[in-house]
Amino acid sequence: MSDGAFLGLVAGLGLLLIWWSMWEQVSAVPRRGAVVRALDRLRDDLIKVGLDTVPPAAVPALSAGLGLVIATVLWAISGAVVPSLAIGLGASAVPVLVLRSAARRRTTAMREVWPEAVDHVNSAIRAGLSLPEALVQLSRKGPEELRPAFAEFALDYQASGDFAGCLDRLKTRLADPVGDRIVEALRITRDVGGTDLGGLLRTLSAFLREDARTRAELEARQSWTVNAARLALVAPWVVLGLMATRPQAAQAYDSTTGLVLIVIGAGVSLIAYRVMLQIARLPQDERVLR
């Protein structure tokens, strides 16, 4: 690949990103395809890490921009097109991986505090507070991680008085499957009534504690295996990136044979990593009650 062709490719991708940023995201799509599900997951991850004002499309745009920058820098250093593109493509996955890792840590932290929040609601109801008041008091006495979301719920309820609508917006702020289940259980209880709300909340709290304890134990046992697999996946590409900074070594891969070798290596690495994750993956809660 000539230098002119490489520069043209970079310029074309840059124009594509500019064109992409000019279109607004559609809030409601009739058919939930793979792209819509991916954007929904990115939106939930952004909310979990406190970046709820960032549009989901900004994440792939950032990934593409980072990959282009790194590929261009390596190409300028080594003059080898194929290794530079390979390292740039791998680097483009870094923003998504960092975001998902932060969102996963946030989900784990939230899993630990939900039982305490349910206990607070149960105590408030036993003390004679109404269900909306029991949720509002979580903004003052609940776990620190949940107070901002319930503080916004309190302001929302004071302004509108629409309990059902406030619950829907609370689910959006929490972006958590456990929170979805708790909110829907409280909504049904308020809508249809019932005399055993305390027993329901105690059962739910006990279930959440047991689930969090079991997951924490299993994740601790398998963490060293997963980390070793990630290290084995990343190590060859780190070596390739270091080699790409030396023009003499990088030229060995700047050919059709080098391209085939890199593509085959990347395919084998990704397939092995995905198989490992599929085997070791614990069942994850999905947001089915959005």
Closest CA to 13 of 79, 81, 60: 60
Q: What is the pLDDT of residue 193?
A: 62
Q: What is the mean pLDDT of the chain?
A: 78
Mean pLDDT in residue range 181-194: 76
The answer to whether residue 134 scores a pLDDT higher than 80 is: yes
Q: 175 near 46, Cβ under 8 Å?
A: no
132 in any annotated domain: yes
C-alpha distances out from residue 34 to 19, 40, 215, Å: 22, 10, 28
Whether residue 116 is contained in a domain is answered as yes
Contacts 24+ apart (CB under 8 A), 125-129: 125/197, 125/198, 125/201, 126/198
Number of domains in the chain: 1
Question: 217: how many CB neighbours lie within 10 A of its CB?
Answer: 10
Contacts of 152 (CB under 8 A, 6+ apart): 169, 170, 173
What is the rounded average pLDDT of the residues 78-94? 79
pLDDT score of 21 more than 70:
no
pTM above 0.85, yes or no: no
Q: What is the arithmetic mean of pLDDT over 111-120? A: 86
Residues in the chain: 290
pLDDT for the residue numbered 26 = 47
Q: Range with the lowest mean pLDDT among 19-28, 67-76, 78-87, 106-115?
A: 19-28
**Does 165 map to a domain?**
yes
pLDDT confidence band for 268 (50 / 70 / 90):
confident
Tell me, yes or no, whether 126 lies in a domain. yes
Asked if the structure places residue 147 within a domain, the reply is: yes
Collect all residues with Cβ–Cβ distance below 8 Å to 66 and sequence separation of at least 6.
Answer: 91, 92, 94, 95
Kindly state whether residue 91 falls inside one of the protein's structural domains. Answer: no
Does position 286 have pLDDT exceeding 70, yes or no? no
Residue 28: predicted pLDDT: 45
Of the chain, the percentage scoring pLDDT greater than 70 comes to 80
Q: Which of 88-92, 141-145, 250-254 has the lowest mean pLDDT?
A: 250-254
- Give a yes or no: residue 224 inside a domain: no
Cα 73–chain centre separation: 29
192 occurs within a structural domain:
yes
Least confident of 83-87, 182-186, 235-239, 243-247: 243-247
Q: Which domain holds residue 208?
A: 111-213
What's the rounded mean pLDDT across residues 194-214?
80
Average pLDDT rounded to a whole number, residues 265-288: 73
| pLDDT tens sequence across 27-76 | 444 445 667 777 778 888 888 877 878 888 888 888 888 888 888 887 88
